[in-house]
Amino acid sequence: MARWVEPMGLLHGRGAFAAVAAGAALPLEGGSAAFTLVRLIEDGRAAGLMPAVETPEDWQEAVLALTRPPRPFAGLPDMASLGRPLVMGVLNVTPDSFSDGGKHFDPRAALMAADAMLTAGADMIDVGGESTRPGAPPVDAETEMARVLPVIRAIARDAPVSVDTRHAATMRAALEAGAEVVNDVTALRHDPEALAVAAEAGCSVVLMHMPGTEPATMQEHAHYADVTLEVTEFLAGRIAACEAAGIPRERIAVDPGIGFGKTMEHNLELLDRLPILLGLGCPILVGASRKRFIGTLSGLKAPADRMAGSLGVAVSAATRGAAMLRVHDVAETVAALRLWRASVAGVPQS
């Protein structure tokens, strides 16, 4: 019997603190946001809205779980100490990624870009060697490793690195080269050895929702009765599979897969209802930077022109519980988050 609690009626900053103090709201993740209402969902059926502080006794533990701060991920500072979500810089060492394909294909250019992102405030660099844009051709593990391993080895000397791959061989080699996180768009489903590799390495993992396991065909499966519930239940199943394989929940983050097998409407609904994912008990990563739906809404065709829209989505995700943001524009995102945090906390952030 699947049960989910959807926090609603969100407040931020002083209004949130005042509502919690007055007993009219509960803190969201123990931070500067609060929720006044909840929607209780059982087996896909919603029981309607009710005040968060008046939840029936048999639902109270699930509601209280939403008030706890997210666990630190991969040994990085948590959101409470930083005052903002972690920022993961995107580094595609590919000739054909949708936004920066070819720009960082040369290892020297990739390392210069990584250094710039770290200087700008990135908490981790996410290195990928296979494009996952819609319709992208697959890349074999040998080609992928040749692209990413020299870059990972160099960056990992000085900074945390995640490897964006769905191939177990690449995962193993990247972890040996110094990567600390496996970020798999197929949630460790594409390669039958992936779960075992991650479990044996003791690394952290990011599980993303994508229908199917092939980016080339994912948009053919963008059909959902309730996209938010289906994504949440999928991720719950993958968390269970990881735990059964020996990967504890403490080493898991989840990603709703914005743009992966979703329409623009699906993406917007997932972002709006993001807090329901907090019930999974894992940090939430949102990767919406420069995605096509941002271009559609802003009227900008070129991915590189979508920075302003990407910043808007990043701040929106931060207000809804995202603990990590995967972005191309690191300096601008860090600045936007600093201003957002100051606006809700009332004090400048370092």
Domains of the chain: 3-65 (no CATH), 79-345 (3.20.20.20)
pLDDT of residue 105: 75
pLDDT score, position 184: 97
The first and second tokens of residue 241, run together, are 């599979």
Q: What are the residue numbers of the active site?
A: 291, 326
Which residues does 272 contact at the CB level (< 8 Å), separation at least 6? Answer: 320
As averages over each run of 10 residues, the pLDDT of the chain (350 residues) reads 90 93 94 94 88 95 92 86 91 73 79 96 96 82 96 97 98 98 97 98 97 81 92 97 97 97 96 96 96 93 92 96 96 95 65
- The answer to whether the CB of 327 falls within 8 A of the CB of 335 is no
Task: Look at residue 46 in the predicted model and tell me its pLDDT.
Answer: 85
Give which of 117, 65, 88 is closest to 253, Cα–Cα.
88
Hey, what amino acid is at 311? L
What was the pLDDT predicted at 99?
54
**Looking at residue 239, what is its pLDDT?**
98
Position 102 scores a pLDDT of 64
Residue 98's φ and ψ, nearest 5 degrees, are -65, -30
For position 349, what pLDDT does the model report?
47
Measured CA to CA, the distance from residue 165 to residue 141 in angstroms comes to 9
The C-alpha atoms of residue 185 and residue 216 are separated, in whole angstroms, by 12
d(CA 167, CA 146): 13
pTM of the model: 0.94
